Chain A
Amino acid sequence: MGEYVLPQGLPAPVPARDGLDRPYWDGTRRHELWVQHCGQCGTWQWGPEWNCHGCRSLAIGWESVPPEGVLYSWQRPWHPVHSALADAVPYTVVLVELPDCGGVRMVGNLVGDPLQRFAIGDRVQAVFEDHNDSPTPFTLVQWRVLS
């Protein structure tokens, strides 16, 4: 499946039964990026939690945010830690910061050549990677460096 950054066979993300992260995963299916945003105090929060860690409000809400950010850190795995990755190394993992959303961070893969040149601070844009052929269809949020 050439359109995926990593091969099929890795565990498929499914929303937790408790419902905590459902707005996020439902959003990815619509190619939208949703994070928590407290209606009481304005704190941006990621990953999802039951209350706002800024003001402790249980009424923390969700908001769709622009799917773009800044490359905060990265690593390039060469050792396959899962059988599905045996022929897929190296690949690049990025940690993306969303500066307009309180600096929350998201983990994803960099789209394109795993040995491409990039730097911390580069602007990146989300690439929504649909896995419609999965028994439990899902969408991953990958990232592309904006030139």
Chain B
Amino acid sequence: MGELEHSLRGRVAVVGVGETTYYKRGQSPDPEFVLVLQAIVAACADAGIEPSSIDGFCSYSNDRNTPARLSAALGGEVIRYSNMQWGGGGGGAAAAVQNACLAVLSGSADCVVAYRGLAQGQFGRFGQGAKSSTISGSAALTVPYGVMSPAQTYAMRTTRLFHDHAISPDTLKAVSLAAYHHAQNNPRAVMYGRPLTAEAYDASRWITEPFHLYDLCLENDGAAAVIVMSAERARDLSDRPVYVLAAQQGGPRRSGVAGHNQPDYVTSSLKPVIPRLFAQAGVTPAEVDVVQSYENFTGAVVMSLIESGFCTYESANEVLTFDNLIAPRGKLPLNTSGGNLAECYMHGLGLVIEAIRQVRGESTNQVPGAKVSFVNAGPMVEVVSAAIFGRAEVLG
């Protein structure tokens, strides 16, 4: 079993997490670089380590805040590892943690941070149409037809999901309502104090059918950071480290081809990630206590949950209901911080942190006794990722 021989399970642990205040898009009072520094320093404080001890840096989605600049600002003596995960969007959120873990596991570095910062006021907004007068290449196959935003790029997968598998649009609504429900208990959430009713969801405008406004992620300013170290060092820092049981990335065959020609069209792209992820973690989907599933769009959450083994195409309409998706007592507590829909869209790193927080027992929507927690990142993009965290007792 080569895939287990070098697994992360029991060998790497999260020692600290940090987040800035999460702001509405364009409203951060601080520049993006300062936000990232704040998140990393907060993660160091959480871990009980000096910021200068970070010797590895992993990010994704072409983050603008480079390791050299960050290390200097943190007072670092040396950079032993730096890594950028390919791909836009949030597909790399769990992969950045994986890359950080691999750096630690290999002995390349001792104390590695996975981070992401976003300040759209400073650097421009996502989802805006092309501004040029001409367009070439793969974009020329879609943009002239008015298909240019991420929602438009992925909506037709959801249309086809409904068609192929008789999935009800009510599942999308349940995902959205559960996120907003959880955000009402989470003071960090941008939508804290702004509950969403089923009636308001139904009455909300279409962005592009089949997506209502509330099926789409937020856009936010802020930063988040996760620090990993070897399990041995982590146990010196805390008597309750959170173990990274597994983290994986991947994409299906020809996932990057142009013009919506992926051979497997109706997919979160997680299918090749999941078997090895669970094998390495040494747990099954049934043993997962709480799930964070990246919401770029709610349709992708439904695909992700099915392809991750938390329900099936046949059971999705019965399992994915509001009552089942809410903490503390739902059968499948989902996106318990409010997620990308209602807490903050930090390209999924907020979901990773919530997964860690649940295992620590510190969520604002805590699932009682949660020992194993799952998170995925960036469904439907070319390369996606996922991770499973667990308490020491899971290691047996």
Chain B residues in 8 Å Cβ range of A46: 258-259, 261
**A81 vs B133: C-alpha distance in the bound complex, in angstroms?**
15
**B159 contacts across to A, CB distance below 8 A:** 73-75, 120
Partner of A12, one of B144, B207, B257: B144
Question: Does the CB pair B146–A91 fall under 8 Å?
Answer: yes
B53-61, B148-156, B330-338, B362-370: which lies at the A interface?
B148-156
- CB neighbours (8 Å) of A140 from chain B are 144-145
Chain B: which residue is nearest A121 at the CB level? B163
- Cα A135 to Cα B261 in complex, Å, equals 30
Asked if A107 lies at the interface with its beta carbon under 8 angstroms from chain B, I say yes
Question: Measured between alpha carbons, how far is A108 from B210 in the docked complex, in Å?
Answer: 17
Contact B136 A79 (CB under 8 A): no
Known: A12-B144, A85-B146, A107-B145. 17 other contacts (CB 8 A): A11-B132, A11-B135, A13-B140, A14-B136, A21-B137, A25-B140, A46-B259, A49-B257, A73-B156, A77-B207, A79-B208, A83-B129, A95-B160, A106-B141, A108-B145, A109-B145, A140-B145
**Structural contact, B259 and A11, CB atoms closer than 8 A:** no
Which 8 A-B residue pairs are closest in the complex by CB-CB distance?
A: A47-B258, A82-B129, A13-B140, A11-B135, A75-B155, A73-B156, A76-B209, A77-B208
In the assembled complex, which residues on chain A have CB atoms less than 8 Å from the CB atom of B134? Answer: 11-14, 136
Number of A-B residue pairs, CB cutoff 8 Å, is 139
Q: Which residues of A contact B261 (CB under 8 A)?
A: 46-47, 104-105
The smallest C-beta distance from A120 to any residue of chain B, in angstroms, reads: 5
Q: Does B143 contact A (CB under 8 A)?
A: yes
- For residue B78, CB closer than 8 A to chain A, the reply is no
A143→B245 CA distance, assembly (Å): 49
Q: CB within 8 Å of A: which of B249-279?
A: 254, 257-261, 265
User: Within 8 Å of chain A (Cβ to Cβ): is B391?
Assistant: no
Q: Per-residue CB proximity of A1-37 to B under 8 Å, as 1/0?
A: 0000010001111111100110001000000000000
Let me know if B152 and A13 touch, CB within 8 A.
no
Interface set of A (CB-CB < 8 Å, partner B): 6, 10-17, 20-21, 25, 46-49, 53, 72-79, 81-83, 85, 88, 90-91, 93, 95, 104-109, 120, 135-136, 138, 140
A-B contact pairs, 21 of them (CB 8 A): A10-B130, A11-B133, A11-B134, A13-B136, A14-B135, A14-B136, A21-B137, A46-B258, A47-B138, A47-B259, A49-B257, A75-B152, A75-B156, A76-B206, A77-B146, A81-B149, A85-B129, A93-B147, A106-B259, A107-B147, A109-B145
Task: Tell me whether B127 is interfacial, beta carbon within 8 Å.
Answer: yes
Q: Determine the chain A residues whose CB is within 8 A of the CB of B143 once the complex forms.
A: 10-11, 13
Report the separation of the CA atoms of residues A47 and B261 in the bound assembly, to the nearest whole angstrom.
7
**Given the interface contacts A12-B134, A95-B260, A136-B134, does A81 sit within 8 Å of B145 by beta carbon?**
no
Which B residues are in CB contact (< 8 Å) with A83? 129
In the complex the two chains form, is B152's CB within 8 Å of A93's CB?
yes
A107–B141 touching, CB < 8 Å:
yes
Chain A residues closer than 8 Å to B137, beta-carbon distance: 16, 20-21
Partner-A contacts on B (CB < 8 A): 127-130, 132-138, 140-149, 152, 155-157, 159-160, 163, 205-210, 254, 257-261, 265
Interface centre among B128, B141, B142, B160 (most CB of A within 10 A): B141
B163 contacts across to A, CB distance below 8 A = 73, 120
Instruction: Say how far B143's CB is from chain A's closest CB, in angstroms.
Output: 5
Shortest distance between the CB of A46 and any CB in chain B (Å): 5
Contacts of B206 in A (CB 8 A): 76, 78-79, 90
**Residue of chain B at shortest CB distance from A107:** B142
User: Which residues of A sit under 8 angstroms from B130, Cβ to Cβ?
Assistant: 10-11, 82
Q: Are B209 and A81 in contact (CB under 8 A)?
A: no
| Contact across chains for A105 and B260 when beta carbons are under 8 A apart | yes
Q: Is the pair B259, A82 in contact by a Cβ cutoff of 8 Å?
A: no
Which residues of chain A are near B133, meaning CB under 8 Å? 11-12, 135
Q: Is the CB of A72 within 8 A of B160?
A: yes
Chain B residues near A120 (CB-CB < 8 A): 159-160, 163
Task: Give the residues in chain B near A91, CB-CB below 8 Å.
Answer: 146
* CB pair A15 B136 closer than 8 Å: yes
Name A53's closest neighbour in chain B (CB-CB).
B254
Question: Complex formed: what's the CA distance from A91 to B145 in Å?
Answer: 9
A93 to B149, CA, bound (A): 13
Q: Are A16 and B152 in contact (CB under 8 A)?
A: no
Q: How far is the CA of A51 from the CA of B244 in the complex (A)?
A: 40
Residue on A with the closest CB to B211?
A75
Chain B residues, Cβ within 8 Å of A79 = 205-208
User: If the complex has contacts A11-B133, A79-B205, A93-B146, are A47 and B155 also in contact, measured as CB distance less than 8 A?
Assistant: no
Most B C-beta atoms less than 10 A away, residue of A13, A49, A74, A82: A13
Most buried by A among B128, B140, B148, B207: B140
CB distance from A7 to the nearest CB of B (A): 10
